[in-house]
Structure 1
Amino acid sequence: MRELFLAGQRAYIRWIDLPGAGDGPVRVFVHGLGCTSASDFAHIAAHPALGGGRALLVDLLGYGLSDRPAAFDYRMESQAEVVGAVLDHLGLRGVDLVGHSMGGAVAIHLAAGRPELVARLVVAEPNLYGGGGGGVFSSPVAAQDEDAFVAEGFARMVAGVDRADYAARLRLADPRAVHRSAVALVEGSTPAPGDLLAGLAIPRTYLVGELSLPDPDAEKAAGFGLPVIGIPGAGHNLMLDNPDGFARALARALPNAPTSRPGHERA
């Protein structure tokens, strides 16, 4: 585990740096709401299909092993700035950036705000727009008062999760961070991640679980010109539901950037 002290937030952000052979681009993985990058992506980063390159598994502020600054707003734009600070600290440019769900929105903001840092982008069922599309988990959280959620709602949320693996990840998150993140996802941003994604000039790929289809955001992504790759037998937790399919999709999207016309493919 490595860490960087952020003077502005008076907090440490932490990540796992997996070394790899060769001179290929570094892959940076960013997790979703209530998750951690190690739990979600360590098995993906080490998958034979990806060739064992260097990978950074970043825990966003408020999640996993990173600190939980009480004054941080936990908005996607702010989290993107923090991930950018990690890449600056490491002297990295032109990384391959992978973001899932909330992490997809963070990744889009980073690619749009710091284009020199990101060479290629893969987003897996990202939060593209606010409002009702803020996310199935985000909307019920955001509807609660923040202090009430911290005092009682978070515990109810953990107890009510129907996936034991998600409950295990969620228990590591800061309740206030979860609430503020959910509010930010429901409120959205201006410009929205979807609009930013549409305007990016770098190679971009959209991954969607087969069980999530039909997915309006996947259709929007195809309309933006992105290849859309479906992961067979997977729902929203694509990298856990079908790790082999997810890794193969990344291998197609990153080592050999897709050139085919937008549309739905299968990993």
Structure 2
Amino acid sequence: MRSLYVPSADAHVRWTDIPGEGAPHVYLHGLGSAGSADFTGIAVHPGLAGRRAIVVDLFGHGFSDRPETFPGTLEAHADTVAAVLDHGAVRGAVLVGHSMGGAVAIVLAARRPELCSRVVVAEPNLRAGGGLYSSGIAAQPERDFVDHGFRALLAELEPEYAARMRTADPAIVHRSAVSLVRGTAPGVAQLFHGLTQPRVLIVGVRSRPYPDEDAVRQAGIPVLEVPDAGHHMAGDNTPGFVSALLRATPSDHPASPGL
């Protein structure tokens, strides 16, 4: 696992770099999870053999540090990923983001378009207001969530998600949830529709009706589905998610310098 000290956070962000050819797939995980838990198995799947992958743990998640003053906003997470890519002089990466990670990918692509050649998002937070868990987290004061709400949430989650969430920093989870509820200006959906890079939305069939799907289609953005899967599609149907990812990411992207 690789590590980079980020001065603005006074902390180290960590990621796994899986060797391969072409522009790297940069995997960005959802709220309370970790790239090392969610995406390492995807990145080394036989269907993606030979493609380079950068699997990031965002601050407060997985193996990355838990800086006390990190704001946890979508913009701050995006800037952290940008620091990782700048560190290795990576340009033209393929961003692959799930849930909150999808929103982070969209914000990053809008702020630093030279860093990515394609944006693939799996059920991202496209609108303010939060999702199934983030809205409930953000409704609590941060101190209350850290002291009591985090443990209560762990008791309610499905075991596999709880195992991932348990390794996360409660304060950064709360701040990230607040950012998802507040949204961005312009909004994440508006940013997504306006990106110049090729974009793809992936939806789990069990998640339908997915509220933003029609608007995404109307914006001319392809929508791919993963059968037999809900929001946690990479775990619900790993082969189906890999198949959708292969359709979303042609293999003829230009090579990118290494980290």
Classify the TM-score, shorter chain: over 0.9
Please give the alpha-carbon distance, in whole angstroms, between the structure 2 residues aligned to 1:226 and 1:143. Answer: 33
What are the ranges of 5 or more consecutive residues in structure 2 without an aligned counterpart?
253-259
Q: CA deviation at 1:49?
A: 1.8
Please give the alpha-carbon distance, in whole angstroms, between the structure 1 residues aligned to 2:222 and 2:190. Answer: 16
Partner of 1:78 in structure 2? 76
Please give the alpha-carbon distance, in whole angstroms, between the structure 2 residues aligned to 1:255 and 1:194. Answer: 24
For residue 123 of structure 2, the aligned residue among 113, 125, 142 is 125
Q: CA deviation at 1:125?
A: 0.2
Q: CA deviation at 1:256?
A: 5.6
Q: What RMSD, in angstroms, separates the aligned Cα atoms of the two structures?
A: 1.0
Partner of 2:14 in structure 1? 14
Q: CA deviation at 1:110?
A: 0.5
Please give the alpha-carbon distance, in whole angstroms, between the structure 2 residues aligned to 1:180 and 1:34. Answer: 11
Please give the alpha-carbon distance, in whole angstroms, between the structure 2 residues aligned to 1:233 and 1:199. Answer: 31
SS in 2 for 1:86: helix
| Aligned residue identity for 1:219 | D
Partner of 2:257 in structure 1? none
For residue 52 of structure 1, the aligned residue among 17, 25, 50 is 50
Partner of 1:155 in structure 2? 151
| Aligned residue identity for 2:224 | I
Q: Quick check: 1:241 aligned with 2:236?
A: yes
Partner of 2:209 in structure 1? 214
Alignment of 1:44-193 (within 5 A): 44-131=42-129, 134-161=130-157, 163-193=158-188
TM-superposition CA deviations, 1:207-231 (whole Å, max 9, x none): 0000000111122211221110110
Please give the alpha-carbon distance, in whole angstroms, between the structure 2 residues aligned to 1:255 and 1:43. Answer: 20
Q: Quick check: 1:203 aligned with 2:203?
A: no
| Aligned residue identity for 1:149 | F
Scaled by the length of structure 2, the TM-score of the pair is: 0.95
What are the ranges of 5 or more consecutive residues in structure 1 without an aligned counterpart?
258-267
Q: CA deviation at 1:50?
A: 1.8
Please give the alpha-carbon distance, in whole angstroms, between the structure 2 residues aligned to 1:124 and 1:70. Answer: 29
Q: CA deviation at 1:181?
A: 0.6
TM-superposition CA deviations, 1:175-207 (whole Å, max 9, x none): 001111111101111011110000011110000
Contact 1:111-1:117 at 8 Å conserved across structures: yes
Q: CA deviation at 1:255?
A: 1.7
Please give the alpha-carbon distance, in whole angstroms, between the structure 2 residues aligned to 1:39 and 1:18. Answer: 15
Contact 1:50-1:248 at 8 Å conserved across structures: no
Please give the alpha-carbon distance, in whole angstroms, between the structure 2 residues aligned to 1:34 and 1:9. Answer: 19
Structure ranking higher on relative contact order (CA contacts 8 Å, 6+ apart):
2
Contact 1:45-1:52 at 8 Å conserved across structures: no
Q: CA deviation at 1:51?
A: 3.0
Partner of 1:263 in structure 2? none
Q: Which of structure 1's runs of 4+ aligned residues deviate more than 3 A?
A: none
SS in 2 for 1:27: strand
TM-superposition CA deviations, 1:124-178 (whole Å, max 9, x none): 00001102xx1011111011111010001000101111x2110110001000011
